[in-house]
Amino acid sequence: MSDNTAIIQVETLTRRFGTFTAVDQVSFQVERGEVFGFVGSNGSGKSTTIRMLCGLLAPTEGTARVAGLDIRAEAAQISSHLGYMSQKVSLYGALTAQENALFFGGLYSLPVARIAERQRMLFPRLGLTGREHMLVRELPSGIKQRLALACSLLHDPAVIFLDEPTAGVDLINRQVFWDLIRELAAEGKTLFVTSHYLDEMEHAQHIGFIDRGKLIGFDSPLGLKVHFAGGYRLRLLHDEPQVLATAAASLRTAGYRVEPGDNGEVCVLLADGSRANLEQLRRRLHALNPTLDGTAALPSIEEVFAGMIRQHQPTQEHKA
Ligand SMILES: Nc1ncnc2c1ncn2[C@@H]1O[C@H](COP(=O)(O)OP(=O)(O)O)[C@@H](O)[C@H]1O
Ligand SMILES: [Mg+2]
């Protein structure tokens, strides 16, 4: 491995279950203090990768280092350096929030006084004050997720793995949760996060896309947009639908790729978002109708992912 600032170094990591390869020769690095987004459809190998990186599942081939430790040779020591929030929240519903903290702190062999100290620090910060004595099964899902995060932070780990932490959480609580993720990264923690909500990955410094066990893309959100989603989209809005329809027809005739947008607008896709190209399009629009205008934007992470999956499975239809 060339870069010694990487806190997670994954090298041709592979896991087979019988003859089925769930994780296939995956290699990448994550820098200290960054939010890394790990994205892929259901069954693509995200949780299996995380379980190997947390020392919970042995790789079939390849290896990785997490926080300086080899996941094969030093699997037993790894857990004290990392936090892990599994996909299925593993809290005990019949225990209170505080009892769960005591239980999970005990798993990390923390003394009770240290757990209490960490709880006094973490509960207010994660919006859990006043919930200490409530039964976990009575907590709303957004609060439960934050309690699970608190439990994974009790031993103050350097690296935190969050496997779909916002699944089933409402939008406001998802935003609160992501604010916490960014704060932790700003303090130097490294966060490895999987999510089904691709829009959340705009917050990540780097994103890895996994498809049927293979890493098919790895870059910053901006890098992915530039390289994989065919450049810019120019959105045209107009009060009169007829003006938009005429413009769309005329642009298509001129060879532009035109698609309907979400809100009745017209989207012109530009493979090359250079100034010259945008200027040429702007002049064409002005000639069509001086009241026509548009805003250029980069594609969303969802569009990047859809494009990437299409490239890798040209014969199959895929949902974005
Ligand atoms: N213990 C196991 N035994 C057999 N197959 C497994 C096991 N764990 C996971 N798999 C399979 O490996 C693939 C990847 O699973 P997983 O890593 O959970 O995907 P994801 O988290 O991306 O949804 C799936 O096809 C799953 O059925
Ligand atoms: Mg999973």
Q: How far apart are CA 28 and CA 47, in angstroms?
A: 16
Where residue 177 sits, what CATH number does that domain have? Answer: 3.40.50.300
- For helices 301-312 and 221-228, the axis angle rounded to 10 degrees is 50
| Residue 32: predicted pLDDT | 95
Q: Could you tell me what percent of the chain has a pLDDT over 70?
A: 94
Q: Which segment of 58-62, 154-158, 180-184, 314-318 scores lowest on mean pLDDT? A: 314-318
| Residue 123: predicted pLDDT | 96
**Nearest bound ligand to the CA of residue 23:** 1
Report which ligand 1 atom has the smallest distance to the Cα of 45: 17
Identify whether the C-beta of residue 189 lies closer than 8 Å to the C-beta of residue 178: no
* 11 and 96 together in one domain: yes
* 286 and 265 together in one domain: yes
* 188 and 241 together in one domain: no
In tens, the pLDDT along 104-134 reads 999 999 999 999 999 999 999 999 999 999 9
Q: How many residues does the chain have?
A: 320
In tens, the pLDDT along 250-307 reads 999 999 988 887 777 888 888 776 778 888 888 899 999 888 888 877 778 887 887 7
- Spacing, Cα 270 to ligand 2 middle (Å): 35
Residue nearest to atom 24 of ligand 1 (CA): 43
Identify whether the C-beta of residue 47 lies closer than 8 Å to the C-beta of residue 85: no
- Spacing, Cα 164 to ligand 1 middle (Å): 14
Quote the tokens at residue 210.
């996994």
| Residue 14: predicted pLDDT | 98
46-69 average pLDDT score: 96
Domains identified in the chain, total number: 2
Residue nearest to atom 25 of ligand 1 (CA): 43
Q: Where does a domain end: 175, 190, 219?
A: 219
* 142 and 283 together in one domain: no
* 39 and 147 together in one domain: yes
Is it the case that residue 229 has pLDDT exceeding 70? no
In a domain, 88, yes or no: yes
**Nearest bound ligand to the CA of residue 88:** 2
* 83 and 146 together in one domain: yes
139: left (phi over 0), alpha (psi -120 to 50) or beta: beta
Where residue 291 sits, what CATH number does that domain have? Answer: 3.30.70.3400
In a domain, 182, yes or no: yes
In a domain, 38, yes or no: yes
In a domain, 315, yes or no: no
Angle, alpha carbons 166-304-88 (nearest 5°)? 20
* 14 and 66 together in one domain: yes
216-237 average pLDDT score: 80
209-230 average pLDDT score: 85
Q: How far apart are CA 112 and CA 106, in angstroms?
A: 8
| Residue 216: predicted pLDDT | 92
pLDDT, mean over the chain: 89
| Residue 260: predicted pLDDT | 81
Q: Where does a domain end: 168, 197, 219?
A: 219
19-46 average pLDDT score: 96
Q: Where does a domain end: 171, 197, 219?
A: 219
* 174 and 67 together in one domain: yes
List ligand 1's pocket residues with C-beta within 6 A. Answer: 17, 22, 40, 42-48
69-97 average pLDDT score: 91
* 237 and 156 together in one domain: no
In a domain, 312, yes or no: no
In a domain, 195, yes or no: yes
| Residue 257: domain span | 232-297
| Residue 227: predicted pLDDT | 73
The residue among 210, 180, 182 whose CA lies nearest residue 194 is 210
Quote the tokens at residue 95.
């225990």
* 202 and 141 together in one domain: yes
Q: Which segment of 78-87, 219-228, 244-253 scores lowest on mean pLDDT? A: 219-228
* 257 and 109 together in one domain: no
Residue nearest to atom 1 of ligand 1 (CA): 17
- Spacing, Cα 213 to ligand 1 middle (Å): 9
Residues lining ion ligand 2 (Cβ < 5 A) are 46-47, 87
Binning pLDDT at 50, 70 and 90, where does residue 315 land?
A: low
| Residue 295: predicted pLDDT | 82
In a domain, 148, yes or no: yes
* 97 and 193 together in one domain: yes
Residue nearest to atom 20 of ligand 1 (CA): 43
